[in-house]
Amino acid sequence: MTEATLPCPFCGFDAIAIDEGSTFRWLHAECIQCGARCGEVRVQTMGEGTPAEWRAAGELAALARWNKRPVEGEKT
């Protein structure tokens, strides 16, 4: 993975794991210190590419979601 991760917004810990979500098609990033999670991202499971490529893209998407911090006054 090449995406740099921001520290946990709750505990400040900087080690983040990528874990399975509600099913095999979903992933989320999670702080290994306090367990805070971002929303799930869907992993491609059909089409061009390989399962390893799909997983890698899903992990990058989960990290991008983890890194998204709301801006004060911005509606999400």
22-54 pLDDT, tens digit each? 888 999 999 999 999 999 999 999 999 999 999
Exposed e or buried b per residue across 18-28, where buried means at least 16 C-beta atoms within 10 angstroms of its C-beta: beebeeeebbb
Cα 53–Cα 59–Cα 63 angle in degrees, nearest 5: 145
Work out the average pLDDT over 6-35: 94
41 SS3 class: strand
Its pTM stands at 0.83
